Amino acid sequence: MNEPQVDQSPRGLLKEAQRVVVKIGSSSLTAQDGHLDVAALRGLVDVIAARHAEGKHVVLVTSGAIAAGFGPLGLGSRPKDLATAQATAAVGQGLLVAQYTEAFAAHGVRVGQVLLTAEDTVRRGHYRNAQRSLERLLDLGVVPIVNENDAVATDKLRFGDNDRLAALVSHLVHADLMILLTDVDGLYDGPPTRPGAKRIREVRSPADIEHVEVTSSGSAVGTGGMITKLESVSIATASGIPVVLTLASNVAGALAGDEVGTFFAVTGKSSSRRRLWLQYAAKARGRLVLDDGAVRAVLGGTASLLPAGITAVEGSFESDDPVELVDPSGRVVARGLVSYDSTEIPELLGRSTGELRDVLGEGYDRAVVHRDYLVLVRRGRRSS
Ligand SMILES: Nc1ncnc2c1ncn2[C@@H]1O[C@H](COP(=O)(O)OP(=O)(O)O)[C@@H](O)[C@H]1O
Ligand SMILES: N[C@@H](CCC(=O)OP(=O)(O)O)C(=O)O
């Protein structure tokens, strides 16, 4: 008997993905009046339940807590200030999960709520807990329903959007596909409202879309717009996970490998969580200004940052905090974990390691940022 043929094209292989992270944004779960669109939620659940019935793992990263919460709280519209948004999300999250619980129960599928902060997905010590509970939920045949822990995420550390959270969750569970569902059918070659803007069907490398203009404003209710989606895509694809970005109503087609939305091919292999955290989640506590020689050394990718190449230190931080490394014009070239407190660095500036050892003693000849704790920052894309 002949073996069934497997479509070996990059899109064709998506049908075979064993573990998928599906992220649905606020824009796709919100009705015209701003409230939760229960019909849209049920439509998504029908498709995910069908995939689940094939024995495949699905993790759902869903926004919608704020949309579900402001009506019951008696607020006329989606709150703008952080404290009210957090309170609204706390009320809405329970209602949102109740809707998912009911919709999945109609298919005989159980769900489990997992609320994460950015740090939980990448900080050593935090991510293992998140990883263990997600793995166990999947083993038990449960569909994990993930959202950012809005009520406790602090202003400094919160994502606000769920795009980057979805990529970090994909990395955490070793997904072999991530699907970003939104209110446009993929990445367009300019803002989709602009006449003549066209959908880009496939992106093979970041260079393909360097020229594409994207905005952060997005829809009326979404957060982050296309900018955070492309950041999410770059985390996932650089970690070896392909992405399809498409309209929420195309989710079945995306899972089947149809030519919907934009397909982003992988660009790298799995990278360490510490690097992902430094690159995408860590908030810098200060800046080190580098001279041209140090910039060249750091951009070379193999050198640590030594005190001799630093001309100034800005901000107040402690050893092991994330800092930005900037060139003489102030452009950020890298991020890293610093090995001195900000108060210690001024007396090290411009001195060679030998001199520091002689004057200040053993230990002061160490790098200010070791290369293992340093990631280069790509040039920012054009945005409007
Ligand atoms: N080049 C682009 N291609 C596609 N969409 C874009 C582009 N630039 C900006 N956008 C906007 O991004 C929005 C989606 O982001 P967002 O509102 O945050 O949605 P979500 O709630 O699904 O995360 C779209 O409505 C669109 O207006
Ligand atoms: N976490 C919040 C807001 C997240 C949000 O709007 O993000 P996104 O849908 O990615 O633009 C919520 O559940 O309402």
Question: Does 161 reside within a domain?
Answer: yes
Q: How far is the CA of 277 from the centre of ligand 1 (A)?
A: 24
What is the DSSP annotation of 205-239? SGGGGTT--B-S--SSS-SSHHHHHHHHHHHHHHT
Q: List the chain pLDDT tens, one digit each, 384 residues.
A: 566 666 667 787 888 899 999 999 998 999 888 889 999 999 999 999 999 999 999 999 999 999 999 889 998 888 888 899 999 999 999 999 999 999 999 999 999 999 998 778 766 667 788 899 999 999 999 999 999 998 887 665 567 789 989 999 998 899 999 999 999 999 999 988 889 999 999 999 888 998 898 877 766 666 768 988 998 998 899 888 999 999 999 999 999 999 999 999 998 776 666 777 777 667 788 999 999 999 999 998 789 999 999 999 999 999 888 899 999 999 999 999 999 999 999 999 988 888 888 888 887 888 999 988 898 886 544 333
Q: How far is the CA of 208 from the centre of ligand 1 (A)?
A: 19
271, 294, 312 — which closes off a domain?
271
Distance 103 CA to ligand 1 centre (A): 27
Ligand with minimal distance to 182 CA: 1
Rounded CA gap, 246 and 179, in Å?
8
Are residue 317 and residue 258 in the same domain, yes or no?
no
Say what the pTM is. Answer: 0.79
Q: b/e per residue, 90-115, with b = 16+ CB within 10 A?
A: bbbbebbbebbeebbeeeebebbebb
In a shared domain, residues 228 and 190 = yes
- Here the CATH number for the domain that contains residue 173 is 3.40.1160.10
Q: Which two tokens stand for residue 244?
A: 């399809």
Same domain, 229 and 332: no
Query: In 3D, which of 357, 332, 334, 356 has the Cα closest to residue 346?
Result: 356
ipTM here: 0.96
| Same domain, residue pair 214 and 310 | no
Distance of CA 306 to the CA centre of its chain: 31
Q: To test the ligand 2 pocket, which listed residue (223, 226, 227) has its Cβ within 8 A of the most ligand atoms?
A: 223
* 267 within some domain: yes
For residues 69 and 168, membership in a common domain is answered with yes
Q: What atom in ligand 1 is closest to the CA of residue 214?
A: 8
The verdict on 237 and 313 lying in the same domain is no
Q: Are residues 264 and 348 in the same domain?
A: no
> Nearest bound ligand to CA 216?
1
One domain for residues 233 and 169: yes
Overall number of domains in the chain: 2
Domain encompassing residue 330: 284-376
Query: Which CATH number does the domain housing residue 315 bear?
Result: 2.30.130.10
Which of 24, 26, 114 gets mutated to test ligand 2 (max ligand atoms within 8 A of its CB)? 26
351: CB partners within 8 A, 6+ apart? 307, 308, 359
